[in-house]
Amino acid sequence: MIVLVGFMGAGKTTVGRILARRLGVPFRDSDVVIEQRAGRPIRQIFAEEGEPAFRDLEHKVIADLLDGTDSVLALGGGAVQRADTRDLLKDVPVAYLRISYAEAMRRVGGDQGRPMLVRPDVAQLHAERDLVYAEAATVTVDAGTSPPEAIARDILTLLADAEAS
Ligand code: ADP
Ligand code: MG
């Protein structure tokens, strides 16, 4: 199991698919599983039930996925906000894909499917989450300047080093 965290646009999906292929395990994305379970897009869950209800559902989905078959698991960008969800990650290798706010906006600034983008304080959110991601992570990689294949390789190298020490 490898869990990927980071701000939207960091490349969790892109790098996660590469990692999963290399390791020969499935790639899972908590946001996708939430949408399947709820039968609605995340944007609609946010609009209809609000963020706290969405975070409850997210927590349950992540707990189930961590309990299930070995995979590379990308978490929604806001999943680590909740202490009880962070607690689920304590004994799992977690890679933080770190990206600047400017680069995140270059990559996903126009994406309608990302509800956090409508928040007026999204820059501040990025700054706050940086600390939380780093704290939750076993390893942190620069995900803003190199191609996805190189980032995947960095993650595997750093996690192997972390495990050996
Ligand atoms: P996340 O799942 O973390 O929100 P995605 O994997 O969906 O991020 O990537 C967001 C966008 O950025 C996509 O268009 C993707 O192709 C692009 N992208 C991801 N990683 C990189 C990278 N290392 N270099 C350049 N573009 C990237
Ligand atoms: Mg993604």
Known binder of ligand: residue 9?
Answer: yes
Per-residue pLDDT tens listing for the chain (165 residues) = 999 999 999 999 999 999 999 999 999 999 999 999 999 999 899 999 999 999 999 999 999 999 999 999 999 999 999 999 999 999 999 999 999 999 999 999 888 777 778 888 999 999 999 999 999 999 999 999 999 999 999 999 999 999 998
Mark 11-24 as b/e (b = at least 16 C-beta within 10 Å). bbebbbbbbbeebe
Place of tokens 């897009």: 41
- pLDDT value at residue 120: 87
Question: Any residues with Cβ below 6 Å from ligand 1, and which?
Answer: 6, 8-14, 74, 107-108, 143, 147-148, 151
For 70, phi and psi rounded to 5 degrees?
A: -55, 135
What is the rounded distance in angstroms from the CA atom of residue 66 to the CA atom of residue 163? Answer: 19
Mutate to test the pocket of ligand 1, among 8, 12, 14, 30 (most ligand atoms within 8 A of CB): 14
Q: How far, in Å, from the CA of 90 to the mean position of ligand 1?
A: 26
Known binder of ligand: residue 12?
Answer: yes
Known binder of ligand: residue 17?
Answer: no
Q: How far, in Å, from the CA of 165 to the mean position of ligand 2?
A: 30
Q: How far, in Å, from the CA of 29 to the mean position of ligand 1?
A: 14
Class of domain 2-164: alpha beta
- pLDDT value at residue 146: 97
What is the rounded distance in angstroms from the CA atom of residue 89 to the CA atom of residue 71? Answer: 14
Ligand 1 atom 19, closest CA = 11
Known binder of ligand: residue 77?
Answer: yes
Give the start-to-end residue ranges of the domains of the chain.
2-164
